[in-house]
């Protein structure tokens, strides 16, 4: 079974977010980048399936050279090889087209990625890739098992419940908790990752369909009003009469 | 040209988030000098749909095919794409729900359209442009995005827009079919399991959410959260370690790697306020924090706070909530 896992390179969850160039660009200064946490669920599940059934796990990232440390980290966690599409990820549609172009050449059985990226929070790429390849996308899945060599069984979250879906290979799925328990690379993984193949390919001529023109930050809160624990009931009155939310 | 709004149902009724989408769609239509039509699929009664008149929708296209009561992305996309064509829609409005975001992304590919999800403002349409603001970096920032294709699709963040009731008269419901075939239902779910929503409040749609963290010590104490939620008509949520330890089900977990919510009121009990937790709740309009540690970081993000032991404070809140007239 050939599995493709899409990873995005995002600011660590604890990062302070700032903008540069007159609020036109994200300021990378002092920001530590990590594999998107949702993608880690996808990556680990892919590796588990490979360990159980054989096959290979390829990771793909659409990004410039500065994403390579995290691609190597994915290799250290257990992916076999990697592809970097050498381009700035302009928008979800652009990224989806790059992934679809690579997937068309390689006939993957399963294409997995996180439910969303924690930087642009788009939740679009998985469905777009499925649509571009005319294969199903099961989104957002929290359980993925193979029924037999050609069929997978997934559980996905719907608002207020869950659905069980069976789907024939090939398909796209997005991952969320508790699909797997993300792994930390071990020493041996880190050593072997250095020599695993990381292929750099140039992007297709695809265009973006949206343009990020400006960034801003939420207004600061006015400060917290403290209520004495002895008179805790007073809070309910304030929520009704002052905040008007009850 | 026109504006098309996708309307989702749940248990026969229109979802609150779809009423928000309808109100939004009507406002966009007015700004563009056109009108808004809705397309409805799924688990919703026709009588409920006529009430969309209040949100300024005069016509609803409704495909009542039984199998559409379950979410089957391909079938949904086909119906909506046909409606876009029929109405010559240039703007399509979804709620940024699981279904809305999924269908929106597929539709964008099929129609060669621009898509923005998690949208928090009406579009700026000066000079034939179309720019919306969307939440990015998990609630830590906003981005203005210009949508450049002929057709624009927006999925609006839940609980970010008021439901208008300015419209008069009922909407007409037209039955609509996109000629779906069995092939469109290839991914019909084998099984659908709904949670016990006896409280009746869906976390993603809730106006008030009561949430518990590790400070509650164990699942046996969750009656405190549930009782307070019940009194306030709220949904319940929890922090990640709480669901990791199986004190609560995973779908209740909010935060960076859980569900993102933006209720009018979020009450956090025994939650420290780690940055990853805040990422999922920081766009709540009013945040209340109850924590026995006055140094808990959550207080910095709060509007109201009580320093105290949850086991003493919450029963007082339940008493006070009981005394409210509802
Ligand atoms: C990549 C990543 C993603 C993450 N994603 C999420 C996420 O999506 N959601 C999430 O919640 N976390 C997430 N986390 C975890 C997060 O960092 C915190 O560990 C977590 O939010 C802490 O949960 P807590 O506040 O319930 O527990 P704790 O941090 O242990 O806090 C418990 C709080 O309860 C208080 N307390 C104790 N007893 C009482 C009492 N009797 N009365 C009142 N207060 C009391 C304590 O003072 C303390 O502040 C993530 C972490 C990482 C690294």
pLDDT tens digits for range B280-317: 999 999 999 999 999 999 999 999 999 999 999 999 99
Say if CB A163 and CB B70 are below 8 A apart.
yes
- What is the fold of A2-217? Rossmann fold (3.40.50)
pLDDT score of B195:
78
| Mean of all residue pLDDT scores within chain A | 96
> What does the pLDDT look like over B182-198, one tens digit per residue?
999 988 899 888 876 55
B46 and B172 housed in the same domain = yes
- Phi then psi dihedrals of residue A159, to 5 deg: -65, 120
**Alpha-helical segments (H) within B137-239:** 223-232
Residue B208 lies in a domain: yes
Q: Is B230 in the pocket of ligand 1 (CB under 6 A)?
A: no
**How much distance in Å is there from the Cα of A150 to the middle of ligand 1?**
41
B168 and B213 housed in the same domain = no
Chain A: residue nearest B77 by CA? A131
Q: Which residues of B touch A38 (CB under 8 A)?
A: 257
Rounded to whole angstroms, the Cα distance separating B156 from B82 reads: 22
B171 and B94 housed in the same domain = yes
Give B89-157 as a 3 state SS string. Answer: EEEEEEECCHHHHHHHHHHHHHHCCEEEEEECCCCECHHHCCEEEEEECCCCEEEEEEECCCCEEEEEC
Range of the domain at B155: 2-185
A92 and B115 within 8 Å at the Cβ level: the answer is: yes
Question: CA of A208, closest CA in chain B: separation in Å?
Answer: 9
pLDDT score of B281:
97
Query: Distance from first CA to last CA of chain A, Å, rounded?
Result: 54
> What does the pLDDT look like over A38-87, one tens digit per residue?
999 999 999 999 999 999 999 999 999 999 999 999 999 999 999 999 99
| Residue B122, CA distances (Å) to A12, A49, B29, B155, B161 in order | 30, 44, 11, 11, 9
Q: How do the domains of chain A map onto residue ranges?
A: 2-217
Closest alpha carbon to B94 in B27, B8, B10: B8
Q: What ipTM does the predicted assembly reach?
A: 0.95
Among A178, A216, A228, beta carbon nearest to B141? A216
B68 and B208 housed in the same domain = no
Among B114, B260, B309, beta carbon nearest to A210? B114
**How much distance in Å is there from the Cα of B213 to the middle of ligand 1?**
6
Mutate: best of A26, A139, A160, A225, partner B, most B CBs <10 A: A160
Rounded to whole angstroms, the Cα distance separating A204 from A175 reads: 26
Q: Is B271 in the pocket of ligand 1 (CB under 6 A)?
A: yes
Tokens of B16: 């609150």
Residue B196 lies in a domain: no
- Phi then psi dihedrals of residue A220, to 5 deg: -70, 145
CATH no. for residue B292? Answer: 3.40.50.1220
**How much distance in Å is there from the Cα of B254 to the middle of ligand 1?**
11
Pick the residue whose CA is nearest to atom 26 on ligand 1. Answer: B213
Residue B165 lies in a domain: yes
Q: Which residues of chain B have pLDDT under 50?
A: none
State the average pLDDT over residues A30-44.
97
pLDDT score of B196:
67
Task: For residue B131, give every residue at least 6 positions away whose Cβ sits within 8 Å of its Cβ, in sequence order, or none.
Answer: A213, B123, B124, B144, B145, B146, B147
B147 and B66 housed in the same domain = yes
Domain end point (choices B185, B214, B244): B185
Which residue is it, tokens 């009430």?
A: B51
A159 and B139 within 8 Å at the Cβ level: the answer is: no
Query: Distance from first CA to last CA of chain B, Å, rounded?
Result: 44
| Residue B83, CA distances (Å) to A30, B44, B202 in order | 48, 18, 29
A178 and B250 within 8 Å at the Cβ level: the answer is: yes
Rounded to whole angstroms, the Cα distance separating B116 from B96 reads: 10
Domain end point (choices B155, B185, B215): B185
- Domain count for chain B, please give it: 2
Phi-psi region of B286 (alpha: psi -120 to 50; beta: other; left: phi over 0): beta
Rounded to whole angstroms, the Cα distance separating B3 from B18 reads: 14
B282 and A162 within 8 Å at the Cβ level: the answer is: no
Q: Is B240 in the pocket of ligand 1 (CB under 6 A)?
A: yes
Question: CA of A63, closest CA in chain B: separation in Å?
Answer: 18
> What does the pLDDT look like over B223-232, one tens digit per residue?
999 999 999 9
> What does the pLDDT look like over A129-183, one tens digit per residue?
999 999 999 999 999 999 999 999 999 998 888 999 999 999 999 999 899 999 9
Looking at ligand 1, which atom is closest to the CA of residue B241?
Answer: 23
pLDDT score of B11:
86
pLDDT score of A150:
96
- In this predicted structure, the answer to whether residue A234 has a pLDDT above a threshold of 90 is yes
């Amino acid at each position: 079974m050939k599995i493709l896992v899409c990873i995005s390179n995002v600011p660590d969850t604890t990062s302070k977010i700032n903008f540069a160039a007159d609020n036109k660009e994200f300021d990378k200064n002092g920001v530590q980048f990590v594999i998107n946490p949702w993608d880690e669920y996808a990556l680990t599940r892919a590796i588990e399936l490979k360990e159980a059934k054989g096959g290979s796990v390829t990771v793909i990232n659409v990004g410039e050279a500065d994403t390579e440390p995290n691609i190597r980290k994915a290799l250290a966690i257990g992916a076999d090889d990697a592809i970097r599409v050498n381009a700035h990820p302009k928008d979800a549609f652009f990224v989806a087209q790059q992934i679809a172009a690579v997937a068309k050449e390689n006939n993957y059985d399963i294409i997995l990625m996180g439910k969303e990226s924690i930087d642009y929070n788009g939740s679009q790429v998985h469905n777009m890739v499925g649509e571009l390849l005319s294969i199903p996308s099961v989104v957002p899945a929290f359980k993925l098992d193979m029924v037999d060599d050609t069929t997978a069984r997934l559980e996905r979250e719907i608002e207020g419940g869950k659905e069980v879906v069976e789907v024939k290979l090939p398909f796209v799925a997005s991952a969320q908790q508790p699909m797997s328990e993300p792994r930390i690379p071990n020493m041996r993984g880190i050593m072997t990752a250095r020599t695993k193949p990381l292929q750099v390919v140039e992007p297709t001529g695809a265009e973006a369909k949206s343009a990020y023109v400006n960034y801003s930050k939420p207004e600061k809160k006015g400060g917290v009003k403290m209520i004495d624990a002895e008179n805790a009931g007073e809070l309910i009155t304030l929520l009704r009469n002052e905040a008007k939310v009850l | 040209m026109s504006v098309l709004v996708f309307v989702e149902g749940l248990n026969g009724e229109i979802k609150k988030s779809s009423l928000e989408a309808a109100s939004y769609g009507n406002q966009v239509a007015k700004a563009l000098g056109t009108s808004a039509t809705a397309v409805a699929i799924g688990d919703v009664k026709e009588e409920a749909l006529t009430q969309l008149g209040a949100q300024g929708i005069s016509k609803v296209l409704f495909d009542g095919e039984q199998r559409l009561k379950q979410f089957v992305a391909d079938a949904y996309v086909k119906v909506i794409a046909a409606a876009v064509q029929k109405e010559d829609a240039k703007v399509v409005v979804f709620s940024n729900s699981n279904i809305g975001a999924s269908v929106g992304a597929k539709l964008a590919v099929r129609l060669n359209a621009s898509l923005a999800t998690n949208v928090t403002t009406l579009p700026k349409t000066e000079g034939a442009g179309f720019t919306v603001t969307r939440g990015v970096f998990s609630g830590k920032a906003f981005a203005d995005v210009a949508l450049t294709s002929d057709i624009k699709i927006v999925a609006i963040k839940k609980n970010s827009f008021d439901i208008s009731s300015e419209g008069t008269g009922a909407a007409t419901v037209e039955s609509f079919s996109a000629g779906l075939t069995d092939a469109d239902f290839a991914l019909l779910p084998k099984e659908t399991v709904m949670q016990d929503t006896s409280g009746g409040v869906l976390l993603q749609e809730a106006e008030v959410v009561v949430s518990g963290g590790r400070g509650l010590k164990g699942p046996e104490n969750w009656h405190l959260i549930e009782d307070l939620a019940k009194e306030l008509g709220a949904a319940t949520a929890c922090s990640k370690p709480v669901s990791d330890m199986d004190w609560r089900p995973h779908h209740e977990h909010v935060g960076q790697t859980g569900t993102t919510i933006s209720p009018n009121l979020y009450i956090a009990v025994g939650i420290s306020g780690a940055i990853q937790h805040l990422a999922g709740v920081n766009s709540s309009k009013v945040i209340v924090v109850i924590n026995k540690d006055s140094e808990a970081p959550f207080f910095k993000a709060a509007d109201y706070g009580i320093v105290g032991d949850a086991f003493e404070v919450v029963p007082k809140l339940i008493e006070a909530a009981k005394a409210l007239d509802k």
